[in-house]
A and B are shown apart, each in its own frame.
Chain A
Amino acid sequence: MSTRISLTVNGVKHVLDVADDALLLDVLREQVGTTSVREGCGVGACGACTVLADGKGISSCLALAVRYDGADLTTAEGLDDNDEVVSSFVECGAAQCGYCIPGMVVMTKELLAQNPRPSAEQITEHLAGNLCRCGTYPEILQAATTAASRRAAQ
């Protein structure tokens, strides 16, 4: 069975026919073409597939696409280079292989939207569900801190 749904991804509306059991992850990668959204574990434990759905960070590998009909989705490739989070990650050198970083970026976006002046502990806690196997955590935390101060200065 398939269902017609509409997803707004990075500001562009997509009308899609999706199988009822299709995962949001697969729909985004295969039908919309947002390959910054990546499968690392399939069980919601690594954070590489994180997207923002109506501003909330979700594991798209655990999300049925049909349940997000009408949702407004943001992925890392939808942010431009001047975005405060993207530019902070670049400035802090917060990527090695970079595979997990888009998930880190959107989680940082979510945090700063909820809490514009997070403490170091709140940043660490918020990003604890996203794994970086290259061990870029020091630079990632520094980037999130930089993005927060950049936002506060605005």
Chain B
Amino acid sequence: MNLLANPVVANVAKSTLAFAILIAVWQVVGQLTQVPEHIFPLPSKIAEVFVRTFPSQVHHLAATGFATVCGLALALVVGVLLAITVIYFASIKGAVLTVLAAFNSIPKIAVAPLFVIWFGLGIESKILLAFLLAIFPVFVNSVTGLGEIEKDMLDLSKISGGNEWRIFTKVRLMHALPYIADSLKVAFPLALVGAIVGEFIGGNRGIGYLILSAQFNMDTALVFAALLSITIFTTAGVGVVVLFEHLFLNWRPSQRAT
């Protein structure tokens, strides 16, 4: 009882219970209605396939995960650098924002085949797709976080003798960290979409490839098992960001102990 009084434990317990109920209902209803396995497999079947194909899941997830994390890291670096450029060269801000908005309005998925032509079937085209999908939220949030500093705070920094570099590292960047962390929570699943679409289009490794080949064999349970792998991966990735916030951004209103 005391353990459940802890809000974190209570939250985890509630979510687990909700999942358990959902899966139990799925299992029972599936068994009663006798839906064919190749249409909608039972949770027990998916679990069995997941365990059986575990080594191959890890093999493919490693490729997808690598492309996702590389694309995300690239998006983080380029997005923040681009935001810094826009903040410090205010005159080009309008132009850069317009060009980026125009680029962002192109459905990146639609140009994926182009990347295969340009960069081949290897990991490069996947990383690039992941990068392109992830960069926009990182950039937009970085511009807000780096730019929207209280005027009084900047005046105080200037009058205290702060040069651009010190103001950047001790004021702007610190102010931007929560915005950037937030953007990563959105950008991470987007980067994953990029990597998987890249694998759909070509290549012989990755969760996207696994799903496609399972679909080809009508192995629906394997498709679901692959989805389970991705879900675990995304949850872990977002979990890392949340952990970072908890450890280093604990001054944020949302992170404060109540």
Physical interaction between A and B:
no
